[in-house]
Structures are given as structure tokens and as C-alpha cells.
Amino acid sequence: MQFTVTDVPERERFEARDEAGVTAGVVTYQLTGTIIAYTHTEVDPEFEGKGVGSILARAVMDDARAKGRTVVPICPFLSGWLEKHPEYDGIVARSTRKIK
């Protein structure tokens, strides 16, 4: 199954859609200047276990990198995903505290 990820700035979110245009998952965000905070990742139950969360995570991080943004990963899913993908460390704002 193929998914297309697009930014929907008027809704402050990225959407992953399948070939039929059905929304499989979303990542919400808040953008302030060059800082983007990813606040929530949600995958529709029908699409769970199909890699939609990871597809969304990679797409939003690649988008942030391409646009020269600093990422604040508030979403627990994205924070966990980033721990396994150190190639994005250069654009991620880190602190000594974790948000739970």
C-alpha cells in the first residue's frame, strides 16, 4: 500500500493518505518562525501496523530539514521514533528534561 504525505497548513497538520485518498494518519504541529513543534501523531485504527506512523515521521522531519526548521518533538511517538533515527539530531531541539 502506498501513502502520500502532504502539508495542510490551514489545519496545522500533515496528512498521510492512501491511494483512494482516505486519511490514514496525521501529525499536528505549531509553527513559530523557524521553530516547528510536532504535537501529536494519530493513525486511523484501520491503518495501524502498516508503517503509517513511521512514514509520517520521516516525511515531517524531511520537510523540516528542507525548510531549515528546528524541531521540538512534543509528541511521544515522534520523540521515540527520533531516538532510533539519529540522522535528524542536528535539527532537533533537545533539553535535559523529557516531556511525558
Instruction: Flag whether pLDDT at 4 surpasses 60.
Output: yes
- The whole-number pLDDT of residue 98 equals 52
Residue 76 included in any domain: yes
Instruction: Flag whether pLDDT at 99 surpasses 80.
Output: no
Residue 44 included in any domain: yes
- The whole-number pLDDT of residue 90 equals 94
Polymer length of the chain: 100
User: pLDDT tens, 11-67?
Assistant: 999 999 999 999 999 999 999 999 999 999 999 999 999 999 999 999 999 999 999
CATH of the domain at 71: 3.40.630.30
Question: Domain range spanning residue 28?
Answer: 4-91
Residue 98 included in any domain: no
| Closest to 13 measured CA to CA, from 23, 1, 25, 27 | 27
Residue 96 included in any domain: no
Residue 60 included in any domain: yes
The set of cell numbers assigned to 62 is: 524531511
> Number of folded domains in the chain?
1
- The whole-number pLDDT of residue 96 equals 47
The set of cell numbers assigned to 12 is: 496545522
Residue 100 included in any domain: no
